[in-house]
Amino acid sequence: MRVKRSSPYGPARAVYPALTLGAVLVGAPLLVVTLYSFLKRGSFGSGVVYKFTSDAYSSILIQTNLLGEHSLNSAYLGIIWRSIILASAVTIFCLLIGVPTAIWIALQTPSRQRILVLLVTIPFWVNVLARTYAWMLLLADKGLLSKIGAPTLLYTNWATLIGLSYAFLPFMILPVYSVAEKLDIRILEAGFDLGASGWRVLTKILLPSLKFGILSGVAVVFIPALGAYVQPSLLGGNKSMLIGSLINDQFGESRNWPLGSALAVLLLAMTVGVLSAYKWREWTRGKRNAESVDGILP
């Protein structure tokens, strides 16, 4: 049910300047990127020529050899696929560590909760590059971890996975915690009281009650992990190309701005597509039980 609200604090137009500024700052770069993706590559590789073409998109799928023959290009698809796998692995890592941590924090006394949430956010105070270099020191050959007998992981996919999971873990913990903290812990007792086993209480009561926190955690971890650039290049050594690095290269070494833009638009379209499909499902279901996830997913 939607209620028409009139603001008691004055007319809604007071927020228009902020809305306009926000819309311009978010929308303008998106428009530029979308525009560039439909333009021709500049003659010396840098910049664009203002001439409409969909070449950038077709070149993602189709390659043309020197003889002018067309064939399917699987290289980019492979990179996109590998990025999805890696982002999924990062999300699963964050789920496995983040969800129990968030629940544990929510079970502490309020004053301890405040301290623990502060601790979770501390990594944000340090620049992401500095944190990534710190991981390089830990994972490197003769680094701290190898000194205690761990294998050298630097410049492997494992290093990328660890670095990304570390970077995005707070984004999983915080939304799950914010839901868990509001949860009536008595519902777990109620579960046991009604004869359920610990496993049943976990899977049928606790996790479903945290559903919206977990879903927003998955969204805010998976999406940036998909396009991540810093960790794959520093920790993974760019040995296996990911979509973030690929896009970066198009604006740098490869000098193909339209292709870079097209890949960025494709990445965006994929993300928006998955989220819309989810929202659509919730919405059609919501018509039955008046459940809404408004404001939970970005």
Partner 1 sequence: MKVESESPAALMISSVSKSFIDPRGREVKALRDVTLSVGAGEFVVLLGPSGCGKTTLLRSIAGFESIDHGSITLGALALDQLPANKRPVNTVFQSYALFPHMSVAENIAFGLESEGLAKASIEERVREMLELVRLVELADRKPRQMSGGQQQRAALARALAKKPSVLLLDEPLAALDLKLRRTMQTELKRIHKATGTTFLLVTHDQTEAMALGERIAVFSEGEIRQFGTPEEIYENPRDEFVASFIGESTSFLCSQESDLLIFESLTFPRIEGVTRDASEVHISVRPEDFSLQQGGFLCGRVVIADRIFNGNSVDLSVRLESGKVIKILAAVSELRDLVIGNERDLFVNPKKIHLLRQSGKI
Instruction: Please count the residues of this chain forming the interface with partner 1, following the rule CB under 8 A.
Output: 22
Task: Provide the β-strand partners of residue 72.
Answer: 62
CB closer to partner 1 out of 39 and 180? 180
Q: Please tell me whether residue 284 binds partner 1 under the rule CB under 8 A.
A: no
CB closer to partner 1 out of 7 and 289? 289
Task: Provide the β-strand partners of residue 277.
Answer: none
DSSP string, 126-179: S-HHHHHHHHHHHHSTTSHHHHTTPPP-TTSHHHHHHHHHHHHHHHHHHHHHHH
CB closer to partner 1 out of 138 and 293? 293
Q: How far is CA 262 from CA 35, 37, 47, 141, 259, in A?
A: 9, 5, 14, 38, 5
Residue 129 structure tokens: 């590059």
Task: By CB under 8 A, name the one of 175, 191, 232, 244 that touches partner 1.
Answer: 191
Q: How far is the CB of 179 from partner 1 (least distance, A)?
A: 10
Query: What is the pattern of x (binds partner 1, CB under 8 A) and - over residues 204-223?
Result: xx--xx-x------------
Q: Please tell me whether residue 196 binds partner 1 under the rule CB under 8 A.
A: yes
Helices (H), the chain: 16-37, 55-61, 75-106, 110-121, 128-139, 144-147, 157-180, 186-193, 198-200, 207-209, 211-226, 230-234, 243-251, 257-289
CB closer to partner 1 out of 70 and 182? 182
Stretch that binds partner 1, among 37-45, 166-174, 190-198, 257-265 (CB under 8 A): 190-198
CB closer to partner 1 out of 193 and 294? 193
Among 221, 241, 213, residue whose Cα is nearest residue 229: 241
Stretch that binds partner 1, among 24-32, 39-47, 58-66, 286-294 (CB under 8 A): 286-294
Q: What type of residue sits at position 238?
A: N
Q: Please tell me whether residue 186 binds partner 1 under the rule CB under 8 A.
A: yes
Residues 228-267, interacting with partner 1 (CB under 8 A): none
Which residues sit at the interface with partner 1, rule CB under 8 A? 109, 184, 186-187, 189-197, 200, 204-205, 208-209, 211, 289-291
